[in-house]
């Protein structure tokens, strides 16, 4: 089943927070000489085109390319929100060589599966073709279950769940071990550790790909992990000349709490909330923030149950938390 | 005797010969001598054979030469001769340049083939022990007889090679235009053995036809034991459904032309990458890590047999070209090659992905890769030369009605299969029908 069949893209609150964090950061970059509104956005829209709509509305991008491989050309064309989106019913690997090398791009390859050769190949291709100043974002599923399911048959046939779990580390070692820099062990695949393994491997991989682009460097800006359903990891940043550090610094992005140059991803998961819950949390933000700074439990006054980390993240990212109401059209 | 205040350090002739001939094959040595001839022709007549890729180019006509520029090779089991009318070597160059080890020309103004200042000497050593050379330019004429055994016996102090009297030379020019004749006798025993093998001679012929394809296309004549060679390069396939990429780029001061696509149905050779430097092939149908297979591309596999990539590097600056010193292979660390390799990968990936899709259809009792065969049925064959002429982009637009199917095969207990056949009402039904029916049953009862 394609991921758009499972859930309306807009209804995933953490994904929506991620999109808005991108926007906030890119708006800052725009003021420091990265004129994002002149960029071409290249993404995987699916039938909802959620990122396309947001990036047009808030970043004023009006040159956009959408790649789609599912055989739904009519549906993709029908749902296209803007005329200027160029829809390409081709695999990403076929679209990348056609990107204009003289133009800056904002690229978000938001995959709905876990890391495999094809993703590494697409990343490598992007690094090779994108003009200096371009911004790249790569999102992959970073979840043990999904990795277990991605073990290729015939290897996977007849394996028990436990055996499959044990196969994941060797499979990952073969795929990204040399980029991770040390042997990936089964204990590294725990939910809280796996994102870092993937993030570190991907960023080392990007750095090793960029050496063939003379004078260019990858400046990491984004390293997120979050979960609506499956745990996701996003690594991203700017491809630019080696001396761009100052320009990036000046933009103020490094003062944003969710921008990191570290290997350890920042957790941005927010909880699914009812409207009543959301309103209560917003009303009590100051008090909550104070409490959470000193304690590692939620205050007694909380009128509903929740885990601590999602509430902490809500307090951080409440401005980006989406509101949903039923719309009768 | 007072103690010395320095450590002695020098090179011996025998070490030098041993070390420089170690990495070069007999065939590569012969090609080095052809390169030498062609390098002169390129310099004297300002030929640029890479032009043959993008235009109708025949320099013999353009320059109104009285006869074609020719390299005539003769191989027998007691000597090797190569004669050309490529312009000859001046006496000054012979005196001060040609026989010096490692004296590459600096800052040339032509797309030459002489890069390292070692090729000719290395070829002599590899092939035999007696070298006779006679050469003439418009201005002068020189002859040399180099008895390598004698030269070695002279010790490691005296390295010079004396000129001989022209009247004494046993070599006689056969061409009107100035040029060079080289005859190598006292062939090394391994060389004699190889020259005796029919297979070696056929391979040599094929290597010359592909390695110098651009030269042959541009009007250069190459003869091997009296036979005039024609150029030979694989061709690309194109149709309404699938096309190749043809693009030009420039990296540092090197022009790069790249064509990547698939070969026609009747081309049964497993292809891969063909790499040229200044018109001279340095990799033929490469399927190794040198062109990224198994490193930045998947390992080469028979499912990729129809993949064909052609890359031509050309530059006045011969040192910027990514050829290895034997000119058979590439310099992986060359910045130009590193950048080109990324581009080669980028253009190859979509094609490999498509070839990979068809692998499932392979089956022993079926013609291999049926879907590919179907696709390759209707279309045109385009030569490397024609495909290089116009920039184009890879495209794959399969017709809607093209069947997109995969083959499933599995093994089950014979008795159980027999029972299923009976349950399906026909005990004599063949096995693949059972499989199909079982699959259809699942689709019908379990799928939405």
Q: What is the mean pLDDT of residues B169-194?
A: 94
Q: Does residue B135 register a pLDDT over 70?
A: yes
Domain with B435, as residue range(s), is 414-446
Q: How far is CA A22 from CA A196, A258, B83, B338, in A?
A: 20, 10, 69, 33
Q: Are B175 and B85 in contact (CB under 8 A)?
A: yes
Interface predicted TM-score of the whole assembly (ipTM), two decimals? 0.83
Q: Are residues B87 and B154 in the same domain?
A: yes
Domain with A157, as residue range(s), is 3-267
B240 in a structural domain: yes
A329 in a structural domain: no
Q: Report yes or no: A208 at the B interface, CB cutoff 8 Å.
A: no
User: What pLDDT is stored for residue A154 in this prediction?
Assistant: 67
Among A49-63, B42-56, B107-121, the range with the most confident prediction by mean pLDDT is: A49-63
Paired sense of beta strands A105-114 and A135-141, if any:
parallel
Q: Are B362 and B303 in contact (CB under 8 A)?
A: yes
**pLDDT tens per residue across span B344-398:** 999 999 999 988 877 654 444 444 456 777 788 889 999 998 888 888 999 888 7
Task: Give, rounded to a whole angstrom, the gap between the first and last alpha carbons of chain A.
Answer: 27
Q: Report yes or no: A101 at the B interface, CB cutoff 8 Å.
A: no
CATH of the domain at B311: 3.30.230
| Among A94, A128, A214, beta carbon nearest to B343 | A128
With CA atoms as reference, the chain A residue closest to B410 would be: A154
Greater confidence (A6 vs B289) lies with: B289
Task: Tell me how many domains chain A contains.
Answer: 2
B162 in a structural domain: yes
Q: Are residues B82 and B188 in the same domain?
A: yes
Q: Are residues A43 and A22 in the same domain?
A: yes
Distance in Å, alpha carbon of A154 to nearest chain B alpha carbon: 11
Distance CA B133, CA B180 (A): 7
Q: Are residues B222 and B201 in the same domain?
A: yes
User: What pLDDT is stored for residue A163 in this prediction?
Assistant: 86
Contact A124 B342 (CB under 8 A): yes
**What single-letter DSSP state applies at residue B256?**
E
Q: Report yes or no: A181 at the B interface, CB cutoff 8 Å.
A: no
Q: Are B80 and B184 in contact (CB under 8 A)?
A: yes
Q: Are residues B148 and B214 in the same domain?
A: yes
Please calculate the CA angle A241-A246-A252 and round it to the nearest 5 degrees.
Answer: 120
Q: Are residues A128 and A218 in the same domain?
A: yes
**pLDDT tens per residue across span B295-308:** 999 999 988 999 99
Q: Are residues B32 and B161 in the same domain?
A: yes
User: What pLDDT is stored for residue A7 in this prediction?
Assistant: 54
Distance in Å, alpha carbon of B229 to nearest chain A alpha carbon: 38
Q: Report yes or no: A305 at the B interface, CB cutoff 8 Å.
A: no
| Tokens of residue B146, six digits | 């180099």
In chain B, residues 359-418 whose CB comes closer than 8 Å to chain A: 393-394, 396
Q: Does residue B400 register a pLDDT over 70?
A: no
CA B10 to chain centre: 36
Q: Does residue B328 register a pLDDT over 50?
A: yes
Q: Are residues B241 and B143 in the same domain?
A: no
Which residues from A are below 8 Å from B339, CB to CB?
Answer: 212, 214
Q: Are residues B221 and B246 in the same domain?
A: no
Contact B338 A97 (CB under 8 A): no
Which of the residues in chain A have pLDDT under 50? 1
Distance CA B69, CA B218 (A): 10
Percent of chain B exceeding pLDDT 90 equals 60
Q: Report yes or no: A96 at the B interface, CB cutoff 8 Å.
A: yes
Question: What is this structure's pTM?
Answer: 0.84
Q: Are residues B221 and B75 in the same domain?
A: yes
Q: Are residues B268 and B333 in the same domain?
A: yes
CATH of the domain at A152: 3.40.50.150
Task: Tell me how many domains chain B contains.
Answer: 3
| Among A90, A125, A212, beta carbon nearest to B349 | A125
Q: Are residues B346 and B373 in the same domain?
A: yes
Q: Report yes or no: B343 at the A interface, CB cutoff 8 Å.
A: yes
CA A171 to chain centre: 23
Q: Are residues B384 and B350 in the same domain?
A: yes
Contact B394 A94 (CB under 8 A): yes
Distance in Å, alpha carbon of B362 to nearest chain A alpha carbon: 17
User: What pLDDT is stored for residue A3 in this prediction?
Assistant: 57
Which residues from A are below 8 Å from B345, CB to CB?
Answer: 124-125, 128
Coil, helix or strand for B273? strand
Which residues from B are below 8 Å from A175, CB to CB?
Answer: none
Residue in B148, B149, B151, B124 with CA at minimum distance from that of residue B32: B124
| Tokens of residue A78, six digits | 């029908």
User: What pLDDT is stored for residue B364 in this prediction?
Assistant: 44
Q: Are residues A129 and A177 in the same domain?
A: yes
**pLDDT tens per residue across span A289-302:** 999 988 888 999 99
User: What pLDDT is stored for residue B362 in this prediction?
Assistant: 46
């Amino acid at each position: 089943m394609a991921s758009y069949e499972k859930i309306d893209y807009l209804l995933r609150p953490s994904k929506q927070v991620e999109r808005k964090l991108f926007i906030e950061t890119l708006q800052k970059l725009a003021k420091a000489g990265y004129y994002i509104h002149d960029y071409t956005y290249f993404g995987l829209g699916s039938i909802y085109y959620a990122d396309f709509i947001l990036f047009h509305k808030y970043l004023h991008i009006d040159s956009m390319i959408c790649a789609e491989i599912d055989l739904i050309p009519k549906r993709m064309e029908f749902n296209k929100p803007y005329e200027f989106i160029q829809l390409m019913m081709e695999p990403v690997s076929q679209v990348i060589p056609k990107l204009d090398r003289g133009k800056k791009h904002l690229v978000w390859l938001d995959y709905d599966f876990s890391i495999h050769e094809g993703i590494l190949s697409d990343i490598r291709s992007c690094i090779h073709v994108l003009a200096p100043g371009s911004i790249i974002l790569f999102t992959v599923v970073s979840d043990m279950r999904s990795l277990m399911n991605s073990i290729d048959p015939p290897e996977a046939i007849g394996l028990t769940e436990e055996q499959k779990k044990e196969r994941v580390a060797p499979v990952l070692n073969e795929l990204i071990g040399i980029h991770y820099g040390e042997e990936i062990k089964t204990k590294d695949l725990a939910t809280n550790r796996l994102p870092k393994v993937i993030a570190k491997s991907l960023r080392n991989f990007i750095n090793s790909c960029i050496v063939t682009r003379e004078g260019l460097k990858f400046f990491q800006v984004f390293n997120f992990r979050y979960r609506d359903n499956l745990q996701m990891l996003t690594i991203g940043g700017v491809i630019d000349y080696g001396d761009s550090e100052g320009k990036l610094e000046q933009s103020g992005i490094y003062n944003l709490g969710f921008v990191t140059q570290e290997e350890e991803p920042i957790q941005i998961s927010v909880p699914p909330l009812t409207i009543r819950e959301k309103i209560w949390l917003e009303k009590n933000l100051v008090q909550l923030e104070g409490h959470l700074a000193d304690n590692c439990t939620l205050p007694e006054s909380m009128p509903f149950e929740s885990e601590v980390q999602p509430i902490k993240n809500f307090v951080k990212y409440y401005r980006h938390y989406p509101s949903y109401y039923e719309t009768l059209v | 005797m007072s103690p010395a205040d320095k450590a002695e350090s020098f090179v011996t002739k025998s070490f030098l010969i041993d070390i420089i001939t170690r990495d070069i094959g007999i065939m590569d040595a012969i090609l080095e001598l052809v390169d030498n001839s062609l390098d002169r022709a390129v310099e004297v007549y300002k030929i640029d054979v890479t032009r043959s890729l993008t235009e109708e180019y025949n320099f013999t006509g353009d320059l109104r030469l009285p006869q074609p520029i020719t390299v005539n090779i003769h191989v027998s089991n007691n000597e090797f001769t190569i004669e050309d009318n490529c312009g000859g070597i001046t006496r000054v160059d012979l005196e001060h340049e040609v026989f010096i080890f490692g004296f590459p020309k600096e800052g040339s103004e032509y797309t030459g083939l002489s890069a390292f200042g070692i090729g000719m000497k290395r070829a002599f050593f590899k092939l035999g022990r007696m070298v006779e050379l006679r050469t003439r330019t418009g201005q002068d004429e020189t002859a040399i007889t180099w008895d390598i055994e004698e030269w070695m016996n002279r010790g490691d102090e005296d390295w010079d090679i004396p000129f001989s009297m022209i009247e004494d030379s046993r070599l006689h020019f056969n061409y009107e235009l100035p040029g060079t004749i080289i005859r190598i006798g006292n062939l090394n025993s391994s060389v004699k053995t190889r020259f005796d093998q029919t297979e070696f001679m056929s391979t040599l012929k094929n290597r010359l036809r592909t390695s110098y394809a651009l030269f042959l296309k541009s009007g250069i004549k190459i003869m091997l034991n009296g036979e005039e060679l024609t150029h030979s390069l694989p061709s690309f396939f194109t149709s309404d459904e699938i096309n190749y990429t043809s693009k030009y780029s420039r990296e540092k001061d090197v022009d790069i032309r790249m064509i990547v696509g698939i070969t026609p149905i009747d081309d049964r050779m497993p292809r891969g990458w063909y790499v040229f430097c200044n018109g001279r092939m340095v990799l033929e149908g490469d399927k190794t890590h040198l062109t990224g297979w198994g490193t930045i591309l998947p390992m080469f596999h028979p499912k990729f047999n129809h993949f064909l990539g052609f890359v031509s590097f050309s530059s006045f600056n011969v040192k910027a070209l990514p050829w290895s010193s034997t000119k058979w292979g590439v310099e992986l660390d060359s910045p130009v090659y590193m950048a080109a390799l990324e581009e080669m990968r980028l253009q190859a990936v979509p094609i490999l992905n498509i070839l990979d899709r068809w692998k499932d259809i392979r089956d022993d009792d079926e013609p291999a890769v049926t879907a590919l065969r179907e696709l390759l049925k209707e279309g045109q064959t385009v030569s490397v030369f024609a495909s290089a002429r116009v920039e184009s982009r890879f495209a794959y637009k399969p017709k809607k009605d093209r069947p997109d199917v995969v083959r499933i095969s599995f093994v089950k207990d014979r008795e159980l299969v027999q029972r299923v056949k009976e349950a399906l009402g026909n005990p004599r039904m063949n096995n693949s029908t059972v499989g199909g029916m079982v699959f259809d049953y699942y689709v019908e009862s379990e799928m939405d």
